[in-house]
Amino acid sequence: MNLFWMILKNELRATWRQAFAWLTPFLFFALIIFLFPIALGSNFILLKQITPAIIWIAALLAILLSLNSLFQKEADEGYLENWLLSPHSLTFIISCKLFSHWLIYVFPLILISPLLGFLLHLSAQEEGVLIITLLLGTPVLTLFGAIGSALTIGIRGHGLLLPILIMPLYVPVLIFATGAMTLVNFNQSIASEIAILSALLLVSITFIPWLVGVALRIGVDQ
Amino acid sequence: MWHWLKQNFLPVKFFYQTSTMLLPWLIFLFVILFSYGMIAGLFFAPADYQQGDGFRIMYVHVPSCFLAMGIYFVMAVSAFLTLVFRIKIAAICMSCSAPIGAWFTFLALVTGSIWGKPMWGTWWIWDARLTSVLILLFLYLGFIALQSVIYSTRARERAGALIALVGAINLPIIHYSVIWWNTLHQGPSISKFATPSIAPAMLYPLLAMIAAFFIFYFIILFIRMQNKILRAI
């Protein structure tokens, strides 16, 4: 547990000292959502229909953007080899790192999403479902992305490779999250969607940090 | 036992000799099955009562779909063997399978689209199975893209194996989530072997074509693998 707090504190402090790194995905998320009403003209009925899709796609892209820097600092400064050699479990270190990454780069998006939803005329009920699906879904996206990030760690100048590798795996989360938002519009039960999202989350939390460890060993090899 | 197997049957040299021996037989078998399937399917099978002669594209479409999924399965198994047992030949098989699988997935999409135009009235529809095959194509292309930018052979093989395995584990989840999302596709005709909903005169050429396509895959795979082995030496 000590190790967990240590990693979290270090990450938070490092982020605090260069605030713009933390703000980039956040601003990116807000700007994409802001561009949609402009691109759609004054078609507010259409806008209301596609709001769940807009917010989810924007969150997905913002997460992909933040993933490029997930292990970059560690790889550049040699922490990665330290992790691989350290007596602590690599899976545990990676879990801590991924949790702090999610907390720093993704959690702010969830915090601001009710405000953006309000600007896009979501009802209170939809706002609630939006926050629940984001809380359940974004960790899965971050975890899957971490595999790609670890594998492409030694590859320079191929910034688009990571999204190409990872985006097909994002389909289930996107389907169930936006599905829940559509169902709540028709006042139907969303219990099954939420259950499946939770199942995806639990399975990914259990297995993916270990897989990321395997991927990091391969990535460091390159 | 395992050690004996690894010593005698898994070295690259053993594969090279066996495949050289097998290739003429495979080509012979392929020519027979393919010509039977083509001639019987295109000329002798009765026309469908609903779709007329248009259903005959099935003889290319269904085998391509089988291969699109079958090759990914082969890749996943070889990825497992690469990652866990570090078998050299499995890694070669995996990276040589990917482009073939991508082409057959593409072929399945194109023939399906050509079949869909007269039957459904549209080239493309966001139906569950079409969408999951499209995602399969993206998985293949992602794998190939990753392979093409890593220069160290060992890292390339292991990174590819990991991403192929993650894709294979996710594929059923993606497939069923897409079915949940939307479906329109006609049910599979020949998976129900107890009571096939397809006439025998249509079925036998189809089975022959599926077998012929699989043999074709192995012919191309063996030739590609032999080339890759020769280039590495």
Using one digit for the tens of pLDDT, what is the confidence trace for A83-117?
Answer: 888 888 889 889 999 999 999 889 989 998 888 88
pLDDT of amino acid B184 = 44
Using one digit for the tens of pLDDT, what is the confidence trace for A40-98?
Answer: 887 778 888 888 889 999 999 999 988 887 888 888 888 888 888 888 888 988 999 99
Domain count, chain B: 1
Using one digit for the tens of pLDDT, what is the confidence trace for B47-85?
Answer: 776 777 777 888 889 999 999 999 999 999 999 998 888
List of chain B residues whose C-beta atoms are within 8 Å of the C-beta of residue A176: 177, 180
- A window 168-187, beta carbon within 8 A of B: 168-169, 171-172, 175-176, 179
φ, ψ at B196 (rounded to 5°): -65, 135
Q: Which position has the token pair 């939809």? A: A126
List of chain A residues whose C-beta atoms are within 8 Å of the C-beta of residue B79: none
pLDDT of amino acid B193 = 45
Lowest pLDDT segment from A29-33, A114-118, A161-165, B229-233: B229-233
pLDDT of amino acid A23 = 81
Average pLDDT, chain A: 86
> Which is more confident, A155 or B132?
B132
- Of the candidates A222, A216, A201, the one whose C-alpha atom is nearest the C-alpha of residue A97 is A216
Q: Does any CB of chain B come closer than 8 Å to the CB of residue A163?
A: no
The two three-digit tokens of residue B74, written as one number: 């082969």
ipTM of the complex: 0.87
The two three-digit tokens of residue B212, written as one number: 């012929």
pLDDT level of residue A219 (50, 70, 90 thresholds): confident
Distance CA B41, CA A95 (A): 56
Residue in B closest to A176 by C-alpha = B177
Best B150, B156, B169 residue to mutate vs chain A (most A CBs within 10 Å): B150
Percent of chain A with pLDDT over 90: 27
pLDDT of amino acid A51 = 87
**Contact criterion met (CB < 8 Å) for B163 and A172:** no
pLDDT of amino acid B8 = 58
Best B162, B170, B179 residue to mutate vs chain A (most A CBs within 10 Å): B162
Distance CA B221, CA A148 (A): 27
Residue A165 lies in domain: 2-221
List of chain A residues whose C-beta atoms are within 8 Å of the C-beta of residue B133: none
- A97, A4 contact by CB (below 8 A): no
CB atoms within 10 A of CB A194: 17
Give whole-number Cα distances, B205 to A204, B39, B41, B71, in Å.
Answer: 44, 8, 5, 22
Distance CA B233, CA B228 (A): 9
**Contact criterion met (CB < 8 Å) for A211 and B150:** no
Domain count, chain A: 1
pLDDT of amino acid B40 = 86
Q: Is residue B115 part of a domain?
A: yes
List of chain B residues whose C-beta atoms are within 8 Å of the C-beta of residue A222: 150-152, 155, 159
CB atoms within 10 A of CB A161: 19
Residue B170 lies in domain: 25-41+56-184+202-232
**Contact criterion met (CB < 8 Å) for B178 and A171:** yes
Instruction: Give strand pairing partners of B52.
Output: B48
Of B142, B167, B178, Cβ closest to residue A175: B178
Using one digit for the tens of pLDDT, what is the confidence trace for A179-210?
Answer: 888 888 777 788 888 999 999 999 999 999 99
Percent of chain A with pLDDT over 70: 98
Q: Which residue stretches of chain A are H helix? A: 2-17, 19-39, 44-67, 72-77, 79-85, 90-101, 107-119, 124-151, 161-166, 171-185, 191-221
Cα of A218 vs its chain's centroid, Å: 23
Q: Could you tell me how many CB contacts below 8 A there are between chain A and chain B?
A: 75
Q: Give average pLDDT by consecutive 10-residue segment, chain B, 233 residues.
A: 63 86 93 90 76 80 92 94 87 93 94 85 80 92 91 87 91 83 55 57 86 94 92 76
